């Protein structure tokens, strides 16, 4: 298809074979793991810029909400946002992450047609998510436990389809190793979101519902421009075989990635559920306020992960699991070193920063920040182990690692929160992060040495 084709090509049908073009089609040479530091450094800077635009917007929203809302209202936002995020895991693992793999390999020469099929999958998954959120809002309102939570869930319901679409079109440019275009979308999204948030804050209209509406508006402002540059081929009536082929590939890859992501969410966020049910939304809001402080360093390494996964996958192709193990040592040193530097600087200026960010609120829980810092160090290092396991095509082992972390989060977290409240939640958060890191480290080393971990891989492959 020529590059000057219209943005959307509509046809009545498209056979599955159209997704697989002949081998004679000209292919774009994929960069090697041995490509120069200048190449990967430039891509890394653009990726950090892109993620920074999104992350800084979300960080500022969290701070402004904490400053303007009561603890209970902020706790409702925190809980609704976590419900939204855990539901988004299905979208990320079944659509976004497989697209990074298959879009740059199997469907590289027919990506525009492949992306058109993904838009239909996006429609189905995002609508299902919105229906679930709407049902949750209705149920919470009927139960009458909280006046703020149903409205927050309604906002998440409305925002879900447009926010998911924005994620999809942004991630598509990483398939092409073109973060520069994704930065354009981040600029538009960030500008709209920040302008709306600051305006709402100044007139004291900022709320959980308004925040989700602003996210939706920002996503709708940026997505059409990015879609126009992708030029997807949208088929009005895709054949069952086409949808079955693509969805089958995505499900085969994504089922264990989804299980691992859900398990990862449990180990890092189940405390919101426990705190709200055992201690109330005020403690939930305090936990969220402390977790906000991890956001800047988390966004940096989330950005690096977008490039680290394809980079590690190429290392696996060229050098096997041993090559990925060597790479993981370097990446772990980078993540741990960067996280430690961030927290050392933060803790030196801890009191004035917290006072400035939260306008004098949450100072009574300031003493818990060093423990939050320790937990974030463990979790940043764990991210590297998970990237490495995915790169050697073993997402099942990532699931196994997080199961052990979940056991600590639940078996220790529930009684600890019941007995000690917020302090118990943070203690369980640190412990589960450490266990996840140790387990992931052991499993990756076992795979590199062709040891007993092959048994786990065979179990994962057999559970189809």
Please state, in angstroms and rounded to a whole number, the distance separating the CA atoms of residues 253 and 108: 17
- pLDDT (0 to 100) of residue 94: 87
- pLDDT (0 to 100) of residue 67: 87
- pLDDT (0 to 100) of residue 448: 64
- pLDDT (0 to 100) of residue 13: 39
- pLDDT (0 to 100) of residue 43: 61
At 352-373, the pLDDT tens digits run: 988 888 888 888 889 999 999 9
Please state, in angstroms and rounded to a whole number, the distance separating the CA atoms of residues 368 and 405: 21
At 421-432, the pLDDT tens digits run: 899 999 999 999
Residues of the chain under the 50 pLDDT cut: 1-17, 21-35, 451-457, 459-464
- pLDDT (0 to 100) of residue 97: 82
Q: Which residue has the tokens 């209209």?
A: 205
- pLDDT (0 to 100) of residue 47: 67
At 219-252, the pLDDT tens digits run: 999 999 998 888 887 766 665 557 778 888 888 8
With 0-12 / 13-18 / 19 or more C-beta atoms within 10 angstroms meaning exposed / middle / buried, residue 330 is exposed
With 0-12 / 13-18 / 19 or more C-beta atoms within 10 angstroms meaning exposed / middle / buried, residue 184 is middle
Three-state secondary structure readout of the chain: CCCCCCCCCCECCCCHHHHCCCCCCCCCCCCCCCCCHHHHHHHHHHHHHHHHHHHHHHHHHHHHHHHHCCHHHHHHHHHHHHHHHHHHHHHHHHHHHHHHHHCCCCCHHHHHHHHHHHHHHHHHHHHHHHHHHHHHHHHHHHHCCCCCHHHHHHHHHHHHHHHHHHHHHHHHHHHCCCHHHHHHHHHHHHHHHHHHHHHHHHCCCCCHHHHHHHHHHHHHHHHHHHHHHHCCCCECCCCHHHHHHHHHHHHHHHHHHHHHHHHHHHHHHHHHHHHHHHCCHHHHHHHHHHHHCCHHHHHHHHHHHHHHHHHHHHHHHHHHHHHHHHHHHHHHHHHHHHHHHHHHHHHHCHHHHHHHHHCCCCHHHHHHHHHHHHHHHHHHHHHHHHHHHHHCCCHHHHHHHHHHHHHHHHHHHHHHHHHHCHHHHHHHHHHHHHHHHHHHHHHHHHHHCCCCHHHHHHHHHHCC
């Amino acid at each position: 298809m020529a590059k000057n084709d219209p943005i959307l090509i509509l046809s009545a049908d498209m056979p599955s074979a159209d997704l697989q073009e002949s081998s004679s089609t000209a292919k774009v040479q994929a960069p090697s793991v041995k490509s120069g530091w200048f190449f990967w450094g430039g891509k890394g800077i653009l990726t950090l810029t892109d993620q920074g635009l999104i992350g800084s917007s979300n960080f500022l929203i969290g701070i402004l909400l904490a400053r303007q809302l009561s603890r209970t209202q902020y706790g409702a936002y925190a809980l609704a946002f976590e419900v939204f995020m855990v539901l988004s895991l299905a979208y990320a693992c079944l659509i976004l992450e497989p697209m990074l793999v298959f879009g740059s390999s199997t469907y590289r020469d027919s990506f525009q047609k492949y992306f058109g099929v993904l838009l239909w999958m996006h429609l189905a998954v995002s609508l299902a998510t919105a229906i679930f959120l709407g049902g949750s809002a209705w149920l919470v309102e009927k139960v009458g436990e909280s006046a703020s939570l149903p409205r927050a869930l309604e906002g998440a319901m409305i925002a879900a389809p447009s926010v998911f679409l924005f994620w999809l079109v942004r991630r598509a440019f990483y398939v092409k190793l073109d973060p520069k275009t994704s930065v354009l979308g981040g600029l538009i999204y960030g500008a709209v979101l920040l302008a709306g948030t600051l305006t709402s804050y100044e007139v004291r209209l900022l709320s959980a519902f308004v925040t989700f509406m602003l996210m939706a508006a920002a996503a709708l402002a940026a997505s059409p421009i990015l879609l126009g540059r992708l030029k997807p081929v949208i088929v009005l009536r895709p054949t069952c075989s086409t949808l079955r082929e693509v969805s089958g590939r995505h499900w085969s890859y994504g089922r264990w990635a989804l299980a691992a992501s859900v398990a990862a969410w449990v180990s890092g966020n189940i405390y919101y559920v426990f705190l709200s049910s055992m201690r109330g939304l005020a403690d939930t809001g305090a936990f969220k306020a402390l977790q906000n402080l991890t956001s800047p360093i988390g966004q940096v390494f989330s950005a690096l992960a977008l490039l680290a996964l394809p980079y590690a996958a190429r290392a696996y192709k060229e050098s096997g699991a041993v090559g990925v193990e060597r790479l993981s040592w370097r990446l772990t040193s980078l993540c741990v070193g960067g996280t430690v530097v961030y927290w050392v600087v933060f803790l030196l200026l801890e009191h004035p920063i917290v006072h400035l960010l939260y306008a004098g609120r949450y100072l009574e829980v300031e003493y818990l920040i060093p423990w939050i810092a320790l937990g974030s160090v463990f979790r940043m290092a764990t991210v590297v182990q998970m990237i490495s396991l995915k790169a050697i095509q073993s997402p099942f082992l990532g699931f196994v690692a997080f199961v052990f972390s979940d056991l600590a989060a639940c078996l220790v977290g529930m009684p600890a929160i019941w007995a000690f409240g917020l302090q118990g939640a943070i203690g369980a958060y640190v412990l589960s992060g450490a266990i996840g890191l140790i387990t992931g480290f052991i499993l990756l080393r076992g795979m590199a040495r062709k040891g007993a971990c092959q048994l786990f891989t065979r179990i994962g492959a057999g559970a189809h």
